[in-house]
Amino acid sequence: MFDHIPAYPGDPILSLNEDFQLDPRPNKVNLSIGIYFDDAGKLPVMDAVRHAETALLGAIGPRSYLPMAGLPLYRDAAQALVFGADHEARAAGRIATLQTIGGSGALKVGADFLKRYFPASQIWISDPSWENHRVVFEGAGLTVNTYPYYDEHTGGLRFADMIDTIGRLPEQSIVLLHACCHNPTGVDLSPAQWAELVPVLQRRKLIAFVDMAYQGFGASLEEDAACVRLLADAGVPLIVASSFSKNFSLYGERCGALSVVCKSKEEAARVLGQLMSAVRANYSNPPTHGARLVANVLSDTSLRASWEAELATMRERILAMRGTIHEGLAGRVDEVMRARYVAQRGMFTYTGLSEAQVERLRSEYAVYVLRSGRMCVAGLNASNAGYVASSIAAVVAGA
């Protein structure tokens, strides 16, 4: 019966991470998947989350199904974090927000919603983008195209080309944008560039779909969300997928949210209903535990302060590691290849290494980066950064 089923070639991120786990070499370094490790190379449990969890365990209650839209306290807290607690659209009740299975679930529910109600629309994602964007949107039946984004010659942004392409898209096209900490390149739009993009989206009557998986890892919780608020203020039709996987270090709990900014409260209620219907068709309703943890941390003044402080420490450690590897590569690779470690932001840097160099890094040095050359700099620490720099220098020299 199943003879015709082909083997799964694997996922460029998750399968590589699994290969890493099986690698017996003691000096192995995992810079593949987008996970933040601390300076001891461990996946942190954040203090605020530990406190919230201990309190929750002491008060274990019954576990019914959550509503299709998720836990109300979580939905409100997630919305406030993305848009700012005092945003006018929140006060007006015109943002439809629901709890999703991670940021990925938010993308899928949003994609299903768009496919159903904008059947003629196609989506444009950055070139390159997170590999799974194409997979999720094509899986929902959308045609996926790309707009120019990364300039491999400079390690920067092809902003003029990006604007030019977006400025010529058909009306009601969907444009996928990364709010901050672009995955995989680490290259973001500046505030001035966002301000230039917004009127183009408006003029062409496009739908902005913003993926914000790294809020707090770029500059700050507020600055990283500034583009979302700018788009909402301008009245651009806006959908936001957000995630607590990274900024709460709660990867396995699958905590995300999807928000659609509408023109009225009444419209938001209709949109929310259709998003709930998409949830029901996919997985019925979301899980409880992680959502309770996030909601309890965000709504408790002291836990929230502790979470924000620890997140700032994580962000600063990533910056420090960028500096360390930048220094470690001095005089060993050319400046274009070296400068990006400090110019790019967030968890990822596009190293500019070729596929063959990436393969040598893995096979000869047990250093894992993605085939595309993407390195998760959040996997570097004081003990491995020097070794990683020397390994990169060796494969670049072809030695």
Least distance from ligand KET to the Cβ atom of residue 42, Å? 18
Please report, as residue ranges, which positions from 6 to 25 form the binding site for ligand KET (by CB under 6 A). Answer: 13
Kindly state whether residue 34 participates in binding ligand KET, applying the rule CB under 6 A: yes
Kindly state whether residue 104 participates in binding ligand KET, applying the rule CB under 6 A: yes
**Closer to ligand KET at the Cβ: 94 or 246?**
246
Kindly state whether residue 102 participates in binding ligand KET, applying the rule CB under 6 A: yes
- Each as own residue / partner, the long-range contacts of residues 16-25 (CB below 8 Å, 24 or more positions apart, any chain) are 16/368, 16/370, 16/371, 19/368, 20/368, 23/366, 23/368, 25/366
Token digits of residue 132: 């799974």
Least distance from ligand KET to the Cβ atom of residue 224, Å? 13
Size of the site for ligand KET (CB under 6 A): 14
CA-to-CA distance for 99 and 70, rounded, in angstroms? Answer: 5
Least distance from ligand KET to the Cβ atom of residue 245, Å? 4
Q: Which stretch binds ligand KET (CB under 6 A): 98-106, 164-172, 318-326, 387-395?
A: 98-106
218 closest CA partner among 187, 184, 240? 187
CA-to-CA distance for 367 and 362, rounded, in angstroms? Answer: 5
What amino acid positions are annotated as catalytic residues?
130, 211, 246
Least distance from ligand KET to the Cβ atom of residue 265, Å? 28
**Closer to ligand KET at the Cβ: 103 or 155?**
103
32 closest CA partner among 370, 366, 357? 370
One residue of 70, 84, 103, 128 binding ligand KET per CB under 6 A = 103
Kindly state whether residue 245 participates in binding ligand KET, applying the rule CB under 6 A: yes
Buried b (16+ CB within 10 A) or exposed e, 249-287: bbbebbbbbbbbbbeeeeebeebbebbbebbeeeeebbb
- Contact between residue 96 and residue 78 where contact means Cβ atoms under 8 Å apart: no
Kindly state whether residue 183 participates in binding ligand KET, applying the rule CB under 6 A: yes
Kindly state whether residue 390 participates in binding ligand KET, applying the rule CB under 6 A: no
376 forms beta bridges with: 348
Kindly state whether residue 130 participates in binding ligand KET, applying the rule CB under 6 A: yes
**Closer to ligand KET at the Cβ: 256 or 373?**
256
The arrangement of strands across the sheet holding 207-212 comes to 95-101, 255-261, 238-243, 207-212, 174-178, 123-127, 144-148
Kindly state whether residue 132 participates in binding ligand KET, applying the rule CB under 6 A: yes
Kindly state whether residue 243 participates in binding ligand KET, applying the rule CB under 6 A: yes
Q: Which stretch binds ligand KET (CB under 6 A): 52-60, 96-104, 108-116, 329-337?
A: 96-104
One residue of 99, 176, 177, 211 binding ligand KET per CB under 6 A = 211
Query: Residue numbers of the site for ligand KET (CB under 6 A)?
Result: 13, 33-34, 102-104, 130, 132, 183, 211, 213, 243, 245, 256
